[in-house]
A and B are shown apart, each in its own frame.
Chain A
Amino acid sequence: MKTKLLVLILVLALSLSMGVSAQETINIAVPTDPDSLDPARAIAAATAEIAFNVYEGLVKSTSGGSVVGALATHWEIDETLTEYTFYLRDAYFHNGQKVTAEDVVYSLERARDPQTGVKAADFQAIKDVLAVQDAVKIILNEPYAPLVYELTELAAAIYPANSNKLASNPVGSGPYKFVEWKPNQYLKLTQFNQYWGDDTLYFEDVYFRIVPDFNSAVASIKTGNIDLIPRLDASYLHQVENDPRLNVISTPMNLVQILGVNNNRPALQDVRVRQALALAIDRDEIIMAAAWDQGQPLYTGMSPAMDYFYNAATETILPYNPQRAQELLAEAGYSDLRLVLELPAPYQTHIHTGEVIAEQLRQIGVTVELKIVEWGMWLDKIYNGRDYDLTIVGLTGKLDPHTILSRYTSDSGKNFTNFASEEYDQLIFLGKQVPEEERMAIYKQAQAIMTEQVAGIFIMDPDQLVITNNQIKGWRSYPVYVIDVAALYK
């Protein structure tokens, strides 16, 4: 009798305890697999937004776009602006080891060695990384203001010294640790109990499910198989916006959609012709037609999402004015201009934008031939080969203005519009040399030049559409690719 009672109590206790620790799971739909879970090997933004939960650097981005300490509590910059000291916090890796200065040195050395780090070129400013007790000193060749922003990137994440096989067994110090990855199916994470942060994590398990098709993602969130879609294409908005079970959150993406104008093409070398093309663009019409009215117009190479550095005055430099455009074309002697506009497939927003632009340019007498080019071919011929007249692409946002704007300097390997302005080059050079508080004015001036001289014609920052089932709360938007699972709760 006694044993029976005991068993009964045990069973009761067991079932109770199981009830209390009811594991909450969240399913997030992402369109593609990560490229590599090794921070030194990863490039895709799709990887960074997942890895944000697993890995941390010395510093990290906030949702407002500023930088705060992650594995470092705080940092100091000496008066020469070339020596940074980061003070480490008490934190642990997912394998239970304490995070040490040696781990930081190891990870950063691996990131900046071209043999091991695919993004080594981003860390060229660094001369040396030294462990000093519980701190790490980063010595630069010359002042480089973007450093702390670049240290927020996945490439600068910290992992245990001498770890190998990070690609299949990632070990970080973030709020969630890696469980398993089934390519083309899902990536699973689970709570890390020794995380230093004091946020209590609501979700025990996290599944990033690979759903390449938006139709399936929408169907799955309606049936509850998916709880969150971090980036829905605007053309699917009508399927979700009136569903009472779902929430739509719309935020700027910090992406720059650019009509690339090849500054080396004979006709386009004339700044008046480039200005004429810029004046012919009606951005509101494009946003309506190509992005279902979900986007912010852009007049310069930076999104208003970067509110501290963004130069709002650029909006009045070359606003929509087709008459002025025709006058400029006549002045330049190009009354019968013919250009080819090459659009990257399968990016529907860019293709639709191109169709509207072709029509808008026809209004000022420019004949535009549209060509659709497969992405790999586009990268080869247009982006890297710079063999085109006009093209459209989206450039993903970065935290630091230098990283965004240095692309258009005349000697940059990423300057696919072949923009060349000495004044601009000098400003960008200056911007990384001066203390933080002097940078804003410099970048605002650089933006004015790139708009006035038409480094490219900037169209819009399409909104990021986040769809959640209406029980999920706490979504935080970032100006970079981040899905901050730790912030989510029910």
Chain B
Amino acid sequence: MSFVVHKLLSFVLTLFVISIVTFMALNVLPGDPAVVILGTEGNPMALAQLRMELGLNINPIQRYVQWLSNLLRGDLGYSIRYNVPVTTLISGALPLTIQLAVFGVGLALLVSIPVGISQAISQGSFATNLGMVISQLGMAMPAFWLGIVLINIFAVKLGWFMPSGYASVASLVLPSIALAIPRAAIFTRVVATSIDETLRQDYLRTARSKGLPERVVLYKHALKNAAISILSVVGIHLTQLLAGTIVIEQVFGLPGFGQLILAAVTQRDFPLVQGLVVIAAAFILFVNLLIDLLLVVLDPRIRLE
């Protein structure tokens, strides 16, 4: 019980600190929304007028307190760039990004677990070495480049998918693959090395000498142990993707979290940036919490303290 309270408290505290840091960063950054909106048609008079309208002449501490008290009522304010509530924009973009993150990581796991296991148990074979080369290549390929290649082959040449934009879940196939390939390469290495390590452990030698079939040794004992390190790595990638797959969204023209963050920062859309950062941080903390709990289930030595 105290574990849950403790986690919840640190959750709220972290969010609070993050919101303050974002707010300060935005205020220190040169250029404000008024400057960006007016662009090269700006002049001191128009700037002063617009700053007043946007409430930028109010002092930052007062603005932050106002924002925080609105947040507690579930109100993230209005986006300056889009003139609509921040919550509307975020709830529009979030489902797409969550799907993309889950598909990307899921697909990577689907490939990497069987491949990683087979690499671990048949070391030195030609297939294993070839697999290593492929996964090395996979790690080296940037996702955005893969994205462009996939678009050119499967959308432009073969016409199987739309090259850009979001119409249905089908629009997520290519971007998920582009996200999955480099991650599959990384996960495969993690699976292979951690299984290999586990297989050398004393308790597995004991298990084998007891006469347990190799299948049971591998799937019941080794995989369960290896799962801990796989899960930690997966957690990191999942949270990374939730915070926005900016480049992939840009390449595939997907209206997700990343696109929104990019637009918000370049336009100095303070309320939108604030809202996006807080929601993204909440998600990351939540996923981390889930992973922590899963690790406890997998490894009884990790205690709830």
Contacts and interface: CB of A to CB of B under 8 A. Distances in A.
Contact of A384 (B47, B156, B165, B268): B47
Contact of B35 (A168, A183, A213, A384): A384
Interface string B24-40: 00000111100111111
A212 to B, nearest CB: 6
Interface stretch (A129-137, A195-203, A373-381, A471-479): A373-381
Contacts of A219: 151-152, 155-156, 163-164
Contact of A414 (B35, B42, B82, B151): B42
Interface stretch (A70-78, A220-228, A266-274, A358-366): A220-228
Contact of A393 (B40, B166, B260): B40
B206 interface: no
B255 interface: yes
Given A36-B83, A184-B255, A43 B163 contact: no
A217 B164 contact: yes
B259 interface: yes
Nearest to B151: A219
B81 A35 contact: yes
B253 A381 contact: no
> For chain B, which range describes its interface: under 10, 10 to 19, 20 to 34, or 35 or more residues?
35 or more
A44 B80 CA distance: 13
Contacts of B36: 375-376, 379
A444 interface: no
Contacts of A36: 83
A380 B165 contact: no
Contact of B163 (A167, A183, A223, A396): A223
A413 B44 contact: yes
B76 to A, nearest CB: 15
B273 to A, nearest CB: 12
B141 interface: no
Interface in B68-123: 81-84, 89, 92-93
Given A185-B165, A225-B163, A375-B36, 7 more contacts: A43-B38, A121-B46, A216-B252, A219-B164, A379-B36, A381-B30, A413-B42
Interface of B: 29-32, 35-47, 49-50, 53, 81-84, 89, 92-93, 148, 151-152, 155-156, 159, 162-166, 250-253, 255, 259-260, 263, 266, 268
Interface of A: 32-33, 35-36, 41, 43-44, 114, 118-121, 167-168, 182-185, 209-213, 215-217, 219-220, 222-223, 225-226, 374-381, 383-384, 393, 395-396, 412-414
